[in-house]
């Protein structure tokens, strides 16, 4: 396999999925954000967003904290150190591949 193709094959598939790429990129730019913000920015429905977040949480890229805003439940999300490194590496690989 030549170097160029290997770079494409090395892309992190957890992040490469468009929905998850949006989530990770949005979280990369902030310290933390809540579920409603991600829903507003990505225009995904609750179910789809939840399933993407579960996949990212499984991979150790996103940390989920359940809390309350007054009496209303709130889900706070932030990118972990591993998630940040993975995203930086993904961008580097994508740049090389393109």
Partner 1 sequence: MDEIGNLLDRPRLYCNIDGLGELAGGAMCLGFALILWPMTHTPAGSVWERIPFFAFVVLMVLIHYGTKAAKTRITYPRTGFVEYRKQWNTSAIAAVSGALAAVGLSVVSRRHWDVSMLAPLAGLAFAAAYGYYFARAVRWKWAIAGAMALTPFVIAFFPTDVLTALGSDSPAAHPARARLSGSILVSLMVYGTMLLVSGGISLWLYLRRTPAPAQDGQ
Binding site for partner 1 (CB under 8 A): 21-22, 25-26, 28-41, 69, 72-76, 91, 94-95, 98
CA distance 39 to 42: 5
Beta carbon of residue 28, minimum distance to partner 1 (angstroms, whole number): 6
Evaluated on CA atoms 32, 82, 57, 65, the torsion sign reads negative
Q: Of 32 and 85, which CB lies nearer to partner 1 in the complex structure?
A: 32
Rounded to the nearest whole angstrom, what is the least distance from the CB of residue 80 to partner 1 in the complex? Answer: 14
Q: What are the distances in angstroms from CA 24 to CA 16, 34, 59, 68, 72?
A: 10, 13, 12, 23, 25
- Shortest Cβ distance from residue 24 to partner 1 (Å)? 9
């Amino acid at each position: 396999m030549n170097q160029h193709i290997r770079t494409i094959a090395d892309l992190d598939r957890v992040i490469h999925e468009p929905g998850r790429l949006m989530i990770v990129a949005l979280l990369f730019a902030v310290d933390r954000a809540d579920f409603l913000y991600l829903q507003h920015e990505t225009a995904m429905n609750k179910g789809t967003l939840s399933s993407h977040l579960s996949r990212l949480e499984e991979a150790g890229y996103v940390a989920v904290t359940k809390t309350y805003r007054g009496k209303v439940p709130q889900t706070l999300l932030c990118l972990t150190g591993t998630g940040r490194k993975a995203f930086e590496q993904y961008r580097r690989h994508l740049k090389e591949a393109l």
